[in-house]
């Protein structure tokens, strides 16, 4: 019998935490003891894992005794406060938030792209998962980079409201209902009405005019690809519940034809080429929801620049963009490093 692992999920009652629970069960991760951790207001609630009830416990610095892998799905503030406590207790922390992504000595990992980076977890006992847009974009870039050397990338991201959490999903639902009933929508999560609208702001703006989300995409892509790639990004919140989409313009050192790009993408792990636009076949957010593949289509050469390509990249931001990615990291971890 293979070894079973004692697991904790921090933020088990949230959107990503709930998806994590589903992904662990779906992928038959070898779980021994399961611990759900959340804020005091959720303590005592009963959730299931693989058909069995598990009581939610209040998260404290003493919550990690006996835990071997701790998944963090509760935001940056929580990760910064509790990851070190978990690591000191002997757990390997795998974090979905932005708390550690650019931290020196913390690997930033997409298993289909840079699984070897997981080996560096021993420095701080923490592994970071990138933002959802970064994850899907680098999965499309990886085969092109290996073949032709990606030099510059322009990302225009169209992000679903679920990227801002459960309350944002509920806000969009309320706004749609209110507007259809002739009422004025209330804005509590987003700075402006998001229903039937597009907001060119995801996260707070920095002094350079870019949002923190945009600058994270810029920084994270280079760290994961382990290359000096020039990246610029614009992130837009759109009235879609689940599924991020991105228009990606790529320049490579070596010319890659449309045909070759399609061939490379067809062979890339975790990528599904959906590209027959003449017949109306291309990736859409509704197609990505509920699965773990990154869908890529609208592949075409960009004649306005040297060695340019355009791609349309779509993925489920809560699954591959967060929960599934950290479970995949854990799968590599237990096979290669925690044996």
Q: What is the CATH number of the domain that holds 106?
A: 3.40.50.720
Share of the chain above pLDDT 70, in %: 100
* Shared domain check, 151 and 110: no
- State how many domains the chain has: 2
Residues 163 and 237 in one domain: yes
Whole-number Å distance between alpha carbons of 86 and 91: 5
Are 107 and 129 a contacting pair, CB within 8 Å? no
**Same domain, yes or no: 76 and 194:** no
**44: its two tokens:** 């005592």
Distance CA 261, CA 139 (A): 13
21 and 150, same structural domain? no
Q: Are residues 216 and 72 in the same domain?
A: no
Reported as a single tens digit per residue, the pLDDT across 164-214 is: 998 999 999 999 999 999 999 999 999 999 999 999 999 999 999 999 999
Write down the residue that tokens 């994961």 correspond to: 224
Q: What is the CATH number of the domain that holds 248?
A: 3.30.360.10
Query: Within this chain, do residues 186 and 258 fall inside the same structural domain, yes or no?
Result: yes
Q: Do 260 and 289 belong to one domain?
A: yes
As given in the structure block, the two tokens for residue 194 are 């998001």
**Average pLDDT for the chain:** 96
Stated pTM of the model: 0.94
User: In terms of domains, do 98 and 39 share one?
Assistant: yes
Residues 6 or more apart whose CB falls under 8 angstroms from that of 170 comprise none
Same domain, 197 and 103: no
Does 29 lie in the same domain as 145?
no
Residues 299, 336 contacting (CB under 8 angstroms): no
> Residues 78, 147: one domain?
no
Residues 117, 151, single domain; the answer is no
Domain that holds residue 51: 5-130+322-336
pLDDT in tens, 201-230: 999 999 999 999 999 999 999 999 999 999
């Amino acid at each position: 019998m293979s070894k079973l692992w004692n697991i904790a999920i921090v933020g088990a009652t949230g959107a990503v935490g709930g998806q994590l629970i589903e992904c662990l069960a779906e992928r038959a991760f070898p779980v021994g003891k399961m611990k759900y951790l959340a804020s005091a207001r959720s303590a005592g609630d009963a959730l299931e894992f693989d058909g069995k009830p598990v009581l939610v416990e209040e998260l404290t610095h003493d919550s990690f005794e006996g835990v071997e892998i701790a998944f963090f799905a509760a935001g940056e503030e929580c990760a910064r406060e509790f990851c070190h406590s978990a690591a000191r207790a002997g757990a390997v922390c795998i974090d979905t938030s932005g708390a550690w992504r650019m931290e020196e000595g913390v690997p930033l990992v997409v298993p289909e792209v840079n699984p070897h980076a997981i080996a560096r977890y021993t420095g701080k006992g923490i592994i970071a998962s990138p933002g959802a847009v970064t994850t899907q974009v680098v999965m499309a870039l990886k085969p092109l980079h290996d073949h032709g050397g990606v030099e510059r990338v322009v990302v225009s991201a169209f992000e679903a409201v679920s990227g801002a959490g459960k309350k944002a999903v509920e806000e969009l639902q309320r706004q749609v209902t209110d507007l259809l009933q002739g009422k004025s929508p209330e804005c509590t999560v987003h700075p402006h009405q998001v229903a039937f609208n597009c907001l060119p702001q995801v996260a707070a703006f920095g002094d350079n005019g870019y949002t923190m989300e945009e600058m994270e995409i810029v920084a994270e892509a280079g760290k994961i690809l382990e290359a000096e790639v020039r990246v610029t990004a614009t992130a837009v919140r759109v009235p879609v519940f689940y599924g991020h989409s991105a228009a990606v313009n790529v320049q490579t050192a070596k010319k890659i034809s449309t045909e070759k790009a399609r061939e490379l993408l067809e062979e890339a792990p975790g990528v599904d080429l959906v590209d027959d636009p003449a017949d109306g076949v291309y990736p859409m957010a509704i197609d990505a929801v509920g699965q773990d593949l990154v869908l890529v289509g609208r592949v075409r050469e960009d004649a306005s620049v040297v060695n340019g390509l355009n791609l349309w990249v779509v993925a489920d931001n809560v699954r591959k963009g967060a929960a599934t990615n950290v479970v995949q990291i854990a799968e590599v971890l237990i096979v290669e490093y925690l044996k």
